Amino acid sequence: MRPLFWICAALIAWAQAGYGLFLALLAKVREIGETRPPGPPADADLPTVTVIVAAYQEASVIADKVANLRALDYPADKLEVIVACDGSPDDTAARARAAGATRVLELPRGGKVRAQDAAVRAASGEIVAFSDANAFWAPDALRQLVAPFGADPAVGYVCGQVTFVNDDGGTNQEGLYWRYEMALRGFESRLASITAGNGAIYATRRAAYVEVDPIMGHDLMFPFTMVKRGWRAVYAPDARATERMVPTIEGEFARKRRMMTHGWPIVLRGGMLSFRGYGPLYALMIASHRLLRYASPFLHAAVLATSVALARRGRPYAVALAGQLLVLAAAALAPRVPLRPFLVARYYVLTTAALAAGLWDVARRPTEAGWEPPPGTR
C-alpha cells in the first residue's frame, strides 16, 4: 500500500500545483529574447466575423446580449450576429430579431452543438466566434479575439478570458479556481496550445471549424482536436467577457456534474486519450491538466484509503490522514460556519466529487445533447 499512497499523492500534487509551477518556470526560461505579440489590426485589415449565440429559453437576456454585440468596437460592415434558437419554447427568437440580430435561426431541439453547426453553415464571416447568451463582452473584446488569427496563420482557435461574477454574494468559490485556471491557460498558450476553452468567448477560423458529436461540447473538444489537425489553439487574455456564476457551491456541483456528462465521452471516446498528433510538451499538458485532473476523485479516494490503513505505521501517513479529515470536516461545516477557508474546502470537495458523479451518470444512462440554463446565472 505504501507505493500506492505515494504514487497517488504525488500525482495529485503534480496535477494541482506542480504542473503550474513547471509551466511558470518553463515559460520564464523561454521568455528570453521573445517580443510582445502585435496588437489588434487596423480596421481595414480586420477579418469579417460572424458571432454566434446558441440560445434555449434565453428571453430574459437575449436582447441585452445582442445589444452588447452590436455595441462592440468593430466595423459594422464586418460583423454579423446570428442567434441560433435551439427549439426555444419562449419568445427568444422574437426578442433577438427586435434587438437587431442579423439572422435568427429557429431550429428544432437538437442541442447546443447542432445549433452552432447550423449557424456556422449560415455564416458569412471568415472567423466564426461564439458566446453564451448570458456572457457580456468588453467593447474591444472582438478586436482582441481576432488579433491572433492575423498574427499567426497557424492559429485555428482562440479563447478569450471570462470573469465570473457573483452579484448576489453567494457561496460559490468558482472565481478563485478560475483565476488559477486562466493563469495555467496563459502559460499553455505561450508554450504550445491550450487544453480547454470556455463557452463565453472563443472563435475559430471558419475553415478550421469541425462538426463534432452533439454531446461533445466545443470547450473541451475543440482545442486538442485543432492541435491534432495541425492548428494552434491559443488564449487571448485581453479578449474579456463577464458571466454570472451559479450562486452556491451546491449549484456549482450540479453544473460541473452535468458538464462532465459531456466531458467524459470526450475523454473516453472523443480522441483525447489518443496522443497521436500531439507534440511531447502538449501530450504532457493533456496528461497533467486534463487526464490527471479528471482522475483526481479516484486518486483522492486511494490516498484516503491507504492513509487509513497505514496511519499506525508511520508519521507521514498519520499526518496525511489528519489533513484529509480536516478538509472533509471543514467542507461539512461550511454551510453552518461560512468562513472563507471552509467554503474553499467545500468547493474543492464537491467539485472534485462532481467529476466522479459525472462518470457515474454517463455509465447509467446516455448523455442528452440538450441543455438547460443553470439556475441563478441569468
* pLDDT at res. 53: 97
* pLDDT at res. 378: 65
Residue 125 has pLDDT above 90, yes or no: yes
CB proximity list for 275: less than 8 A, separation 6 or greater: 283, 286
Q: What is the mean pLDDT of residues 115-134?
A: 97
* pLDDT at res. 199: 92
* pLDDT at res. 298: 98
Residue 36 has pLDDT above 80, yes or no: no
Q: What is the mean pLDDT of residues 26-46?
A: 74
The residue whose grid cell reads 470556455 is: 198
Lowest-confidence range among 32-36, 42-46, 204-208?
A: 32-36
Q: What is the mean pLDDT of residues 118-125?
A: 97
The residue whose grid cell reads 452552432 is: 116
Residue 247 has pLDDT above 90, yes or no: no
249: number of CA atoms within 13 Å, CB side? 22
Where is 264: in which H helix or E strand? helix 249-269
129 closest CA partner among 189, 180, 80: 80
Where is 160: in which H helix or E strand? strand 155-165
The residue whose grid cell reads 475559430 is: 204
Q: What is the mean pLDDT of residues 4-14?
A: 98
Residue 34 has pLDDT above 60, yes or no: no
Percent of the chain with pLDDT over 90: 85
Q: What is the mean pLDDT of residues 311-335?
A: 96
* pLDDT at res. 39: 67
Q: What is the 3-state secondary structure (H, E, C) of 32-94?
A: CCCCCCCCCCCHHHCCCEEEEEEECCCCCCHHHHHHHHHCCCCCHHHEEEEEEEECCCCCHHH
* pLDDT at res. 226: 97
Lowest-confidence range among 219-223, 295-299, 374-378?
A: 374-378
Q: What is the mean pLDDT of residues 106-118?
A: 95
Residue 376 has pLDDT above 90, yes or no: no
Domain boundaries, the chain: 43-248
Tens of pLDDT, residue by residue over 67-106, are 999 999 999 999 999 999 999 899 999 999 999 999 999 9
Categorize the per-residue pLDDT at 32 as very low, low, confident or very high, splitting at 50, 70 and 90.
Answer: low
The residue whose grid cell reads 505579440 is: 37
Mean pLDDT of the chain: 93
Q: Which CATH number fits domain 43-248: 3.30.70.1060, 3.90.550.10, 3.30.460.80, 3.30.1360.180?
A: 3.90.550.10
Q: What is the mean pLDDT of residues 22-50?
A: 80
Categorize the per-residue pLDDT at 169 as very low, low, confident or very high, splitting at 50, 70 and 90.
Answer: low
All 3 cell numbers of residue 80? 454579423
- Cα distance between residue 62 and residue 43, in whole Å: 28
Q: Which residues of 56-94 are buried (b: 16+ CB within 10 A; e: fewer)?
A: bbbbebbbebbebbbebebeeebbbbbbbbbebeeebbe
189 alpha-carbon distance from chain centroid: 14
Let me know how many helices (H) and strands (E) the chain has, helices first: 13, 8
> Could you report how far apart the first and last alpha carbons of the chain are, in Å?
48
* pLDDT at res. 37: 57
116 closest CA partner among 165, 207, 66, 54: 54
Q: What is the mean pLDDT of residues 235-254?
A: 92
* pLDDT at res. 55: 95
* pLDDT at res. 94: 96
Using alpha carbons only, how large is the chain's radius of gyration in Å? 22
Tens of pLDDT, residue by residue over 137-156, are 999 999 999 999 999 999 99
DSSP letter (8 states) at residue 279: -
Q: What is the mean pLDDT of residues 27-54?
A: 80
